[in-house]
Structure 1
Amino acid sequence: MEARDDELPPLDPAESLRLIAREQATTTRRLTPDPRLLLWPWGLAWLIGFGVFFLRFGPDERVLVDMPDWVPLTVLLGSMIVAGVITGIVGARAARQVSGPSSRQGAMYGFTWSVAFIGMATLFSRISDLLPVPEANLLWAGAMVALTGALHMAGGAIWNDRSLFVLGLSISVVNVAGIIIGAGWHALIVAVLGGGGMLVAGLVSWLRMAR
């Protein structure tokens, strides 16, 4: 009985190495979540949420679009919750295909995000009323972005992912620059450079994975 062509062994060691490389690449693509689904929800959440902040609480307390004071923070938190749900579902689906330490690391890392944001929101909800509105808004926005940047950098260190670490570092630099420039401008800078940067990073990562 003759073997089919796809059952024949590779003709030489070089072909064997190429076959192994192709299988490894296929496995990596299958187990790695689509970076667009991980980064685009957050990029849109920041672009929309911080954009609304800028329109309501502009530089020098200017109101570019009149709306109730509670709307910007509600939109920002709501959009971040939606982004968190989307990325959580994507990450959970990917984790189901992996067992062992890597799966536990991913679960603990995701849990860390939830606990950190809940703790921060609980603390700031107690003290933000003691501050003037511009400073309170800057406290909320700056702290959320700072925490996001730090957690991205931590994730990059855990998984030796240079792209994730660089993204977290970039977010942190943008955040510090916005805080230094001041309330109002911070929201615009984070919306454009932070949110827009994540949209670009998701596209670049997807194109790199496709290659």
Structure 2
Amino acid sequence: MTTDGDTAPLDAADAMRLIREQRASTARRLEPDPRVHYWPWGFAWLIGFGIYFLRFSPDGRTLVAMPAWLPLTLLFVLLAAAAAVFGVGSARAYRHVAGESARRGSWYGASWGLGFLSLSLILGRVTDSLPHDLAGLLWSALSVALTGALHMAGGAIWLDRTLFRLGVWLTAVNIVGVLAGPGWHALVVSVAGGGGMLVAGALARQRHG
């Protein structure tokens, strides 16, 4: 015969398990699918920088004939689409979040916009005097550098190891690409940078449940 004293520990264990499951379920509802943070940008980099490499390959070669304006235009379109997907996904996920977390998110998002606005204005003033290949390298290298730094900053703000490690990875990838030189930088960023974002999204999704 089972007494109340015998069943109490089991009931307490079940209650704790139920609480943990409810907490996890609530977190999944409030937090967006991490793939929304990583995959749109990953595909944009993989395709956009890949097309750029095919048109502006090392030593002035062209692997695939296309208009000179097309690769950069396509890259900007893909980045704009990624920003739209990311923005809509984040807005839906955080529409019920308020307080300090909401302020952190809005300030962090503003830092991205202001950072790239400043970068674009500065580069627009100095790259006209550079050869085309070096101007392209400067634009892409500084953009990736800012992206890596902002990822590391975001990881530090939210204590997100995946985000911080991705920032470190993008910084390392950027350094390798710059050392490789014009043309090669686009290939390295496409494969290692864009691919790294896709992998980061998959790993974050596994932890997210």
Please report the TM-score for the alignment, with normalisation by the length of structure 1: 0.91
Matches within 5 A, 1:80-119: 80-119=79-118
Q: Which amino acid aligns with 2:122?
A: L
- Give the secondary structure class of the aligned counterpart of 2:98: coil
Return the offset for 1:111.
1.3
Q: Which amino acid aligns with 2:78?
A: S
Aligned to 1:204: 203
Return the offset for 1:115.
1.2
Structure 1 gaps, min length 5: 1-8
Q: Which amino acid aligns with 1:187?
A: A
Aligned to 1:23: 22
Structure 2 gaps, min length 5: 1-7
Aligned to 1:184: 183
Q: Distance in 1 between matches of 2:125 and 2:65?
A: 26
Q: Identical aligned pairs, as a percentage? A: 53
Q: Distance in 2 between matches of 1:16 and 1:103?
A: 31
- Give the secondary structure class of the aligned counterpart of 2:172: helix
Question: How many residue pairs are counted as aligned between the two chains?
Answer: 202
Matches within 5 A, 1:127-146: 127-146=126-145
Q: Distance in 1 between matches of 2:69 and 2:124?
A: 13
Q: Distance in 2 between matches of 1:127 and 1:82?
A: 28
Q: Which amino acid aligns with 1:37?
A: V
Q: Which amino acid aligns with 2:175?
A: V
Q: Which amino acid aligns with 1:157?
A: A
Q: Distance in 1 between matches of 2:17 and 2:129?
A: 64
CA contact (8 A) 1:10 1:16 kept: no
Please report the TM-score for the alignment, with normalisation by the length of structure 2: 0.92
Question: Per the alignment, do residues 10 and 20 of structure 1 end up closer, same or farther by CA in structure 2, a change over 3 Å counting?
Answer: farther
Return the offset for 1:11.
5.2
Q: Which amino acid aligns with 2:48?
A: G
Q: Distance in 2 between matches of 1:127 and 1:70?
A: 20
CA contact (8 A) 2:31 2:94 kept: no
- Give the secondary structure class of the aligned counterpart of 1:88: helix
Aligned to 1:162: 161
Return the offset for 1:19.
1.5
Aligned to 1:61: 60
CA contact (8 A) 1:56 1:66 kept: yes
CA contact (8 A) 1:95 1:106 kept: no
Return the offset for 1:10.
9.1
Superposed CA RMSD in Å reads 1.5
List per-residue Cα deviations over 1:92-141 (Å, max 9, x = no partner).
12221211000111011111111111111122122111100110000011
Task: Please list every run of at least 4 consecutive aligned residues from structure 1 whose deviation after the TM superposition is greater than 3 angstroms.
Answer: none
Q: Distance in 2 between matches of 1:41 and 1:202?
A: 10
Q: Distance in 2 between matches of 1:131 and 1:69?
A: 17
